[in-house]
Structures are given as structure tokens and as C-alpha cells.
Structure 1
């Protein structure tokens, strides 16, 4: 009976989102209704919601805020454009897809998906016009790179939120995510478009494409600030794993904390970029404003998650799954994928699924791989109820059929390969 009530709640959530209600309001409303229908006392419902919001945001709000500041500083300083310019000129236009893919990965780590898309889409169109290549031939590598960073790599909201909910180590999640993200991006972003799009002849581009480089920061500064958060977190995590107890290990534990790493990265970015402090602070403020609604949606998702946990629904799912001889990672992916197809939003699907799959994390099940499995499921089969679907369709002026054959197929490849990668990693770590 409890699972039927949860199903009703998910259907209600789908209807409310379909009616264009804010996902935050929809999640809170559904959380309260679901809790009451599951027989939870009113006081317990409100307590669960408060605890869910607090436990979710308490460990990640600063990570999200600092990550947004970092991304906005990189965007406003021109560092992202400089990285693009260097990679394009280094790879050459015969290998333009590889340059765009690597650009998407580097720019996508500090920037959120929508911001990265908006920053890079003018470049995609400029390269297409300069080389005569189809826009989709250039655009799919960019979209695939941004998608894998969005689904698998902190400091993006989904992986950060899931790591907090599953009590996963964010540094390990980042390292495992990088192991998955690179080959998946290559398959979905390079080889997939080559199968479905004929590129024709490449003409030599006009050198004026990067004529505005003079006003941008140096290449060293640009790569330094873009990769700094990842380098600090990864270095701290690797140091902790390799060193015995010592003062040096304590230092690595300190810098591997995502909040500390991102704070250091933001401060060093402000120092190294030739930007007045006042302007840098304005960029930081705008960056946080840009993710305010994302933070609220995650908070509401945490409330819904806590209702599912406190009501015992997660234990019910675990009990039903016990006789089924399937990996908990696979079950988590299936559940998240179904919610993604139903609800549209990757973040909402991941947060909704988390409350049901937390009890599946037991001995022998890596919390970090569970984060990536749910992240992979949240990217499955993007279609008409996903804003990313419409953004891709409208920017590239596609029909619905063309969007399904390109964007939806690419997202599905990213999701399925993510699942296979997680299952393979589970046998190795």
C-alpha cells in the first residue's frame, strides 16, 4: 500500500510540474501530502521536512554557492573563451570535434549546464560558419561534454546533493566520475555524431574567428582557474589515500573538503585575475543569484526524501528488492531513470529516487558509485518534459523528430554507458 501512495505522489508531482508549477513548490506540496497519506502524524511530517531541508543544505549549500561564484568569475573574466581559443587552435579544424569536446569538459566543470551551453553555443555556430561543418556535428560534442559533467562531476548540484544524502566522499565521487565522464563523452560526443551526421568537406576557417583574444586573460591563468577546484579536491583525496597518519595527511584531509577547496579556488581566482575586487564581488553575487532556485529545489527534494525515509518506504523498497538477484546499483539506476522519464528534471528525479534507494546502500555497496548510478539514471531519455530538450531544439532549429534522434539519443547513450561504467567500477574498487 505504501508504494501505491508513493506512486500517487510521483504522479501528482508529474502533474504539478506539467502544469508549470515551480518544482520547489511541487516537491514541498507532494512531500506533505505523501507523508500524511502514509499515516505520518502532522508533527512528524513537519519535523521530517525541516530535518530533510537542514540535512541536505547543511553539508552542501556552501559548495554550491562557491561553485557558482567560481563559474561566474571564470565566465566574466573571459577565461572560458580563452580556453576555447587555445584548444581550437591547438587541435586544428580537422580535429574540431575533439577540441569542442575537451572545451566542453573543461568549461563544464566550473560552469552549470545552462551557463556552459550559453557560453559555448556562439562558438559552435562560429566554427560551423567558418568551416562549413553542420552545426550538430560541432554541437553534439559540446552538449555531451556538458551533460556528463552535469550528471557525474561535483561541484554540479546533482552529484553534490546525492553525495550529501548518501554520505559519500565527494573527492572519491569526483575521481570515479572523471573515470566515467571522459570515455562516455568521447563515445556520445565524437563517435555518435559521426554515425548520424555527414560532415562533408572542411574549409579552412577565417583567422578572424579569434581576433578578440587580445582582451582575454593569459592561457595559463585561464586553465589555472578553471581546473583549480578539481585539482585541489583530487590532490587532497589522493593524498589522504596514500599517506599514513601524519601532519601532512591532516593537511590533505583539510584541503580535500569541498568547501575549503572551493573557497581557496575562489580566493586564488580573484587574486590572479586582473579584475577589481568590487567587480569580482559583483560576479560572485550574480553567480549565487543564478543558482538560488536550484538550491531551493534541492532543499525541497531533501524534504521529500526525508518523508520517504522516515515513513519507512525506503525499507519497503529494500525488502522487496532483497529477493531480486540484481545489483543495488542497477536497481537505483532503473528507479531514477523511470522518474527522469516521468518528471523531466534530472535533479528532481535524482533527489526523489534517493529517498527510496538509501536503504540499498549496505556492506559491499559503494556510496560513491550509488551517487554515480543515480546520476546516470537521471540523464536517461530526455524528452519533451525536459527544458534541456527544448533548449537544444530551439538553438539548433530542429524538428521534434530530429531532436529525438540527436539530443534524446545522445542523453540515453550517456545514461546507459554510465550504468555500465558504474557496474564495471563496482567490480574493481
Structure 2
């Protein structure tokens, strides 16, 4: 009976989202209704919701806020554009897809998906115009790179939220995520568009020459500020993982904390930029404002997750699937992918699934790989109920059929390859 109630809750969530109800409101309402229908006392339902919000945000709110500040500082300072120009100049027209892919990976690490897309899309169109190449031939590598960073790499909201829920080490999650992201981005972003898209669209294109703005920061400063959080987290994780005690080990442990790494990065970004402190603080405030609703959705997702845990639903799912002889990582991917196709939002699907699959973590599924498995499932088969689908469609002026044949397939490739990569990694750790 409890499983039917869960399915009813998911169906209700789907209907509310279809009706354009804000996902935060929908999640909280469904969490309360589901808890009550599962027989939880009203007082316990509200306590579970409070506990879920507190435990979910408590471990990540500063990471999300500092990451948003960092991304906005990089965007407003021109560092993101500078990285684009340097890579395009280095790779040339013949290998322009590789330049766009690497740009998407570098820019996508500090910037959230929507911000990265908006920053890079004018450059994609400029490159297409200057080279005579198809916009999609240039644009899919960018979208694939942003998707893998969004699904697999902290400090994006989804991976950070899941790491907090599964009690996963963010540094290890980042390292494993990087191992997956590069080959997946290459396959989905380089080889996939080469198979389905005609390369040249304008034989009379002008010579390939995109001139950067002279007011942009230096290349060295741009790369350092954009990648510093990643370097600090990885260095801290590797250093703190070395066996034995040594003098600098506490420093590595300190740097491995994503809040510390991002705080240091924000401070350094403030020190090296040309803008006044007042202007920089405005950028920081705008960055946090841009993710305010994302934080609230994550909080509401944490509340729904806690209802599923406190009601025993997670254990019910574990018992029902115990005889299926499936890998917990595969099962987590399947549940998340089903929710993604149903609900549309990758973040909502991942957070909803987390409460159901949390009991599956054990010797055959590490918390870090569970984060990546759920992250991969959350990217599966993006279609008409996903805002990313419509953003891609409208920017590239595609029909629905064309969007399904490009964006949807690309996202599904990333998702399936992510699952395959997670299962392979699980054999070695």
C-alpha cells in the first residue's frame, strides 16, 4: 500500500509541475500530503520537513552561495570570455569543436548551467558565422560539456545536494566526476554531432578571426580564478588521503572542505580583479540572488527526502528490490531516470530519488558513486517538461523533432555513459 501512496505522490508532483506550480511549493505540498497518507502524525510530518530542510541546507548552503558568488565574479570580470578567446585561438578552425568543448568544461565548473549557456551562446553563434560551420555542430559540444559538469561535478547544486544527503566526500566526488566527465563529453559533444550534423552551412564564410575585447583580464588570471576552487579541493583531498601524519596534513584537510576552498577562491578573485570592492560586492549579491530559488527547491527536495526516510519508504524500496539481484548503482540510476522523464527537472528528480535509494548505500555502492549514479540518471531523456529542452530549442531555432534528435539524444548519451562509467569505477574502488 505504501508503494502506491508513493506513486500517487510522484504523480501529484508531476501534475503540479505540469500546471506550472513552482517546484518548491509543489515539493513541500506533496511532502506533507505523502507523509499524512503514509500514516505519519501531523506533528511528525512537520518535524520531518524541518529536519529535512535543515540537514540538507546545513551542509551545503555556504557552498552554493560561495559558488554562485565565484561564478558571477568570473562572468562579470570577463574571465569566462577570455578563456573562450584563448582556447579558440589555440585550437583553430579545424579543431574548433575541441576548443568549444574544453571551454564548456572550464566555464561550466564555476558557472551554473543556465549562466554558462547564456555566457557561451553568443560565442557559439559568432564562431559559426565566422567559420561557416553549423551552429549545432559548434553548439552541441558546448551543451554536452555544460551538462556533464552540471550532472557530475561540485559545486553545482545537484551534486552538492546529493553529496550532503549521501554523506559523500565532495573532493572524491569531484575527482571521480572529472574521470567520467572528460570522455563522456568527448563522445557526446564531439563524435555525436559529427555523425548527425552536416559540418558546413555557409561556403562563403569570412576568414576565421574573432578578436577579443582589449579590456578583458589576462589569460593567466582568468584561468587561475576560474579553476582555483577545483585545484584547491583536489589538492586538499589528495593530500589529506596520504597515509601517515605529517606537518602539512591539517592544511590539506582544511583545503579539502569545499566551503574553505570556495571562500579562498572568492577572496583571491576579489583581490585580483580591476573592479571596485563595491562593484564586486554587487556581483556577489547578484550571484546569490540568481540561485535563491534553486536553494529553496533543494530545501523542499530535502524535506520530501526526509518524509520518505522517516516513513520507512526507503527501507520498503530496499526490501522490494532486494531480490532483483541488481547493482544498487544501477537501481539508483533507473529510479532517478524514471523520475527525470516524469518530472522534467534534473534537480527535483535527483532529490526525490535520494530519499528512496539512500538505504542502498553499502559495500557494493560507495556514497560518492551513488552521487554520480543519481546525477547520471537525472540527465536521462530530457524532453518537453524540461526547461533546458526549450532553451536549446529556442536559441538554435529548432523544431520539436530536431530538438529530440539533437538535445534529447545528447542528454541520454551523457546519462547512459555516466551509468557505464560509474559501474566501471565501482570495480576499481
- Category of TM-score, reference length = shorter chain: over 0.9
Cα separation, 2, equivalents of 1:116 and 1:36: 40
2:332 — aligned with what?
332
CA contact (8 A) 1:153 1:159 kept: yes
Moved more, 294-303 or 271-280: 271-280
Structure 1: runs of 5+ lacking an equivalent: none
1:310 — aligned with what?
310
1:209 — aligned with what?
210
Residue 145 of structure 1, CA deviation: 0.2
1:250 — aligned with what?
250
Alpha carbons of structure 1 residues 319 and 85: separation in structure 2 relative to 1, 3 Å: same
1:397 — aligned with what?
397
Cα separation, 2, equivalents of 1:242 and 1:195: 44
> SS where residue 94 of structure 1 aligns?
coil
Cα separation, 2, equivalents of 1:69 and 1:345: 23
Give per-residue Cα distances to partners, 1:373-428, cap 9 Å, x unaligned: 00000000000000000000000000000000000000000000000000000001
CA contact (8 A) 1:130 1:203 kept: no
CA contact (8 A) 1:384 1:390 kept: yes
1:2 — aligned with what?
2
Question: After the TM superposition, which residues 193-342 of structure 1 pair with which residues of structure 2 at under 5 Å, given as runs?
Answer: 193-200=193-200, 205-206=206-207, 209-210=210-211, 212-342=212-342
Give per-residue Cα distances to partners, 1:168-224, cap 9 Å, x unaligned: 0000000000000000000000000000011138777546522x4311000000000
CA contact (8 A) 1:66 1:263 kept: yes
Confirm or deny that 1:420 pairs with 2:420: yes
Cα separation, 2, equivalents of 1:64 and 1:203: 46
> SS where residue 368 of structure 1 aligns?
helix
Cα separation, 2, equivalents of 1:118 and 1:11: 32
Question: After the TM superposition, which residues 117-156 of structure 1 pair with which residues of structure 2 at under 5 Å, given as runs?
Answer: 117-156=117-156
> SS where residue 239 of structure 1 aligns?
helix
Alignment length (residue pairs): 428
- TM-score, with normalisation over the residues of structure 2? 0.98
CA contact (8 A) 2:131 2:208 kept: no
> SS where residue 10 of structure 2 aligns?
helix
Moved more, 200-209 or 24-33: 200-209
1:356 — aligned with what?
356
- TM-score, with normalisation over the residues of structure 1? 0.98
Cα separation, 1, equivalents of 2:351 and 2:207: 46
Higher helix share: 1
Residue 320 of structure 1, CA deviation: 1.2
Deviant stretches of 4+, over 2 Å? 200-209
Residue 364 of structure 1, CA deviation: 3.2
Cα separation, 2, equivalents of 1:108 and 1:205: 29
Cα separation, 2, equivalents of 1:72 and 1:124: 20
Structure 2: runs of 5+ lacking an equivalent: none
